[in-house]
């Protein structure tokens, strides 16, 4: 029998909810996707379970989560777990592959290190204007790869970057990072259509943030106009 890959499971698998992450402010459900005797664990966030946010009046958090995944994949950051938009037992929403982190890594120490994967995450967050990069949203796995989760409050038109990853602020961008940003500019101009998920103004702001990073040539600095670190930080 042919093996069913995870993308097929995510799109076509039967979604069965088995629990809820009680610390989440919006409905965040732990579930299993099953297809052809194969299964994977996932997180399911139905749009019906979202709380309205005064500063994100347009669209929904599920679409922002999916847009973050598309940006991560299209710009070759590969930092967001496999994510789809689909129907489920509590309605249409975001479904994301569950990531089992390396339990030997102490996140309270790890987040403040100079790990290159964390720096890539910091740059990615600056691009998508992540307002909530907490320590607990970092998902390092045993093979050394890093993923990040919870990207619902991203892509705001105003600068709202809030993150625990400020250890490189003001440092010059590397040549590779500049090439990443130049590549991002071209992909957003020619290939990546985010209009089903974000407003025109949000997409314009996304492009402008990339231009600003290229113009400044440095990693972003925390702002004095709003809290630069999310609360709680974990």
- Residue ranges covered by each domain of the chain: 6-216
Average pLDDT over residues 58-79: 95
Contact status, residue 17 vs residue 89, Cβ threshold 8 Å: yes
pLDDT at 4 over 70: no
Q: Tell me the C-alpha distance between 138 and 47, whole Å.
A: 23
Q: How far is CA 172 from the centre of its chain?
A: 24
Predicted pLDDT of residue 79 = 98
pLDDT at 114 over 90: yes
Contact status, residue 47 vs residue 92, Cβ threshold 8 Å: yes
pLDDT at 2 over 60: no
Predicted pLDDT of residue 62 = 96
Q: Which CATH class is domain 6-216?
A: mainly alpha
pLDDT at 198 over 90: yes
Q: What angle do CA 127, 229, 101 make, to 5 degrees?
A: 75
pLDDT at 146 over 80: yes
pLDDT digits (tens, 9 = 90+) for 147-195: 999 999 999 999 999 999 999 999 999 999 999 999 999 999 999 999 9
pLDDT digits (tens, 9 = 90+) for 99-113: 999 999 999 999 999
Query: Sign of the CA dihedral 150, 155, 158, 164?
Result: positive
Predicted pLDDT of residue 1 = 42
pTM: predicted TM-score of the whole model, two decimal places: 0.95
Predicted pLDDT of residue 166 = 98
């Amino acid at each position: 029998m042919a093996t069913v890959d995870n993308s097929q499971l995510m799109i076509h698998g039967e979604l069965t909810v088995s629990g809820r992450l009680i610390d989440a402010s919006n409905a965040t459900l732990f579930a299993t996707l099953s297809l052809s005797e194969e299964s994977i664990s996932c997180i399911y966030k139905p749009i019906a379970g979202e709380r309205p946010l005064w500063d994100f009046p347009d669209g929904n958090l599920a679409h922002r989560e999916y847009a973050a995944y598309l940006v991560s994949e299209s710009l070759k950051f590969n930092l967001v777990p496999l994510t789809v938009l689909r129907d489920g037992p509590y309605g249409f929403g975001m479904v994301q592959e569950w990531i089992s982190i390396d339990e030997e890594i102490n996140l309270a120490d790890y987040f403040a290190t100079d790990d290159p994967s964390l720096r890539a995450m910091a740059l990615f967050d600056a691009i998508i204007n992540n307002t909530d990069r907490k320590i607990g949203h970092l998902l390092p796995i045993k093979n050394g790869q890093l993923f990040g989760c919870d990207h619902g409050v991203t892509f705001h038109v105003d600068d709202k970057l809030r993150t625990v990853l400020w250890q490189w602020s003001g440092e010059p961008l590397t040549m590779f990072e500049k090439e990443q940003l130049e590549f991002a500019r071209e992909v957003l101009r020619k290939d990546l259509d985010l209009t089903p998920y974000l407003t025109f103004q949000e997409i314009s702001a996304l492009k402008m943030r990339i231009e600003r990073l290229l113009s400044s040539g440095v990693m972003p600095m925390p702002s004095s106009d709003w809290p630069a670190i999310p609360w709680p930080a974990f």
